[in-house]
């Protein structure tokens, strides 16, 4: 084969690959993707795909789901992708064991976080989260400090959420927290044990041991707190219920095969 012939064949092949690839339904999907990106500006293409597939299943669009690669291609061509993360990787402090569990109601974790309002007020929230299905079972918010009494209220209401009107657990559940004063207080630990919890605290200076709660705080602030108005504490506290409900019902989670906590729980119960 001559060199000129080989060069021509390679050149034409590369030229052909550089052309844009489009499918017939891309024009239908683009407005839906743009609407989702406007409403959930912090979601990447995988979570946008999960929201899009949920929307396609609930409407008459002619098909029930799309592939994440296709959504990525459409978002890339229309400049809808999130900027690539260029920050430094955090310190590599390792911890032993895994926080995640294979079954619900095996280990619950908890943590507290602070929301800063535009008028300098602070809202502090403490919550409980299941380490299997990632559902936020209960939360308490205040404009003061998080107290041991608030943690005890979260414990009781989380039990009622999962097991109905009962004052104690029907089986032992691990209660994983960090070493905050409201968690390690003797009254909190004794109260948790009286309810049937196995109290577990993370090693000192090892927040990664409660990594699931830490990851939720980061996600919640990024996708809900920072994307909404926070003029004062009253406005934030009025919106918290809707934010938690949206997270439990619609937020896709990579550890749950891009399902929301409620979708994952429903699937586990059905199976």
CA–centroid distance for 126 within its chain: 16
pLDDT at 94 over 90: no
177 plus 236 within the same structural domain? yes
Averaged pLDDT score across all residues of the chain: 88
pTM summary value: 0.84
On the 0-12 / 13-18 / 19+ scale of CB atoms within 10 A, 208 is middle
Q: Whole domain around residue 34: which residue ranges? A: 23-83
CATH number at residue 187: 3.30.420.10
With CA atoms as reference, report the closest residue to 160 among 191, 128, 125, 190: 128
How large a percentage of the chain has pLDDT more than 90? 70
18 confidence band (pLDDT: 50, 70, 90): very low
Residues 62-89 have pLDDT tens digits of 777 899 999 999 999 999 999 886 665 5
pLDDT at 95 over 50: no
* Alpha carbons 80 and 91: distance in angstroms, whole number: 31
Number of domains forming the structure of the chain: 2
The CA–CA distances, whole Å, from 101 to 98, 174, 202 equal 8, 11, 16
136 plus 45 within the same structural domain? no
How confident is the model at residue 269, as a pLDDT?
A: 80
The CA–CA distances, whole Å, from 58 to 39, 54, 162, 205, 220 equal 18, 6, 28, 46, 26
Q: What is the mean predicted confidence (pLDDT) over 176-193?
A: 94
How confident is the model at residue 165, as a pLDDT?
A: 87
201 part of a folded domain: yes
94 part of a folded domain: no
Structure tokens at 247: 């997270």
């Amino acid at each position: 084969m001559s060199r000129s012939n080989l060069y021509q064949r390679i050149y034409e092949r590369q030229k052909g690959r550089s052309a844009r690839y489009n499918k017939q339904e891309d024009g239908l999907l683009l407005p839906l993707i743009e609407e989702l990106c406007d409403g959930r500006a912090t979601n990447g293409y995988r979570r946008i795909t999960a929201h899009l597939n949920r929307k396609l299943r609930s409407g008459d669009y002619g098909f029930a789901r799309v592939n994440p690669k296709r959504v990525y291609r459409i978002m890339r061509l229309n400049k809808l992708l999130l900027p690539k993360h260029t920050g430094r990787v955090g310190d590599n402090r390792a911890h032993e064991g895994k926080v995640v569990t294979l079954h619900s109601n095996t280990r619950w974790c908890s943590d507290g976080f602070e929301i800063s309002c535009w008028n300098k007020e602070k809202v502090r929230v403490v919550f409980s989260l299941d380490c299997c299905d990632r559902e936020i079972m209960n939360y308490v918010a205040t404009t003061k400090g998080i107290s041991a009494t608030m943690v005890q209220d979260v414990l009781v209401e989380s039990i009622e959420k999962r097991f109905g009107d009962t004052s104690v657990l029907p089986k032992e559940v691990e209660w994983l927290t960090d070493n905050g004063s409201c968690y390690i207080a003797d009254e909190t630990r004794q109260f948790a044990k009286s309810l049937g919890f196995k109290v577990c605290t993370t090693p000192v200076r090892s927040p990664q041991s409660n990594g699931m709660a830490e990851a939720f705080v980061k996600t919640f602030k990024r996708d809900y707190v920072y994307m909404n108005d926070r003029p004062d504490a009253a406005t934030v506290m009025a919106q918290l219920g809707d934010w938690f409900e949206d997270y439990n019902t619609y937020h896709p989670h990579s550890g749950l095969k891009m399902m929301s906590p409620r979708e994952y729980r429903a699937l586990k119960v059905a199976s």
